[in-house]
Chains A and B, each alone.
Chain A
Amino acid sequence: DAGVIQSPRHEVTEMGQEVTLRCKPISGHNSLFWYRQTMMRGLELLIYFNNNVPIDDSGMPEDRFSAKMPNASFSTLKIQPSEPRDSAVYFCASSTPNTGELFFGEGSRLTVL
């Protein structure tokens, strides 16, 4: 079975532009998580969904960030407008409630100039 699939792997954009990151969780997993990795704070939880419903978005830095999960096989994380301080690696992960283990995608490296 394919793992968690994220796209794009790399994104370079200019300040003020809209950025959309995409994630396809592992089939059958009903929880999906968005994390951001930075040098200072490591892996920060931005938002997570259970059964496509956002449960906790308290980690979303600002109103510029939004996330959606229209169905069980797809989620997006959008930044509009993007700023240089948003530069980081964004990870998507999925899980089932019984395992307690997260499976991560390979990440999307975002650079905002």
Chain B
Amino acid sequence: DQQVKQNSPSLSVQEGRISILNCDYTNSMFDYFLWYKKYPAEGPTFLISISSIKDKNEDGRFTVFLNKSAKHLSLHIVPSQPGDSAVYFCAASAVGGNNDMRFGAGTRLTVKP
């Protein structure tokens, strides 16, 4: 069962433009959401997170938006840079639960110079 879904396997944007990566979840118990970034031959690394008490969290060029009613979150990267080219995974967990974290299938972002 895919509790976290990333329906776009890939996204290509021009350098300097905005990248928007989307994620949907089905489990209403999830209350903590994260984005991870993965380069080839490396493990995923934490990028940004948001708890369910917020609807927006910003860190430099990266902003995560959460729409709890729609069970949807998105990651905005502005401006996009070639070094942002990677696979981005959306993840969710229930902090008060058993601490397991579920990931989406990932979206491969390519930022073209």
The smallest C-beta distance from A66 to any residue of chain B, in angstroms, reads: 18
Contact of B99 with A50 in the complex, beta carbons under 8 Å: yes
Contact of A101 with B34 in the complex, beta carbons under 8 Å: yes
- Residues of chain A lying within 8 A (CB to CB) of residue B105: 40-43
Q: Which of B's residues lie within 8 Å of A, judged by CB?
A: 2, 6, 32, 34, 36, 41-46, 49, 89, 91, 93, 95, 98-106
- In angstroms, Cα B102 to Cα A45, docked, is 7
Contact of B43 with A4 in the complex, beta carbons under 8 Å: yes
Number of interface residues of A (CB under 8 A): 26
Query: Are A41 and B100 CB-contacts (below 8 A) given A91-B43, A100-B34?
Result: no
* Shortest Cβ distance from A95 into B: residue: B99
Contact of A42 with B103 in the complex, beta carbons under 8 Å: yes
Which residues of A (58-98) have their CB < 8 Å from a CB of B? 91, 93, 95, 97
Contact of A100 with B93 in the complex, beta carbons under 8 Å: yes
Contact of B103 with A31 in the complex, beta carbons under 8 Å: no
Contact of A100 with B44 in the complex, beta carbons under 8 Å: no
Interface: A19 (CB within 8 A): no
The 9 closest A-B pairs by CB, nearest first: A42-B105, A104-B43, A43-B103, A42-B106, A106-B43, A101-B46, A104-B44, A100-B32, A55-B98
- In angstroms, Cα B47 to Cα A21, docked, is 27
- In angstroms, Cα B53 to Cα A91, docked, is 30
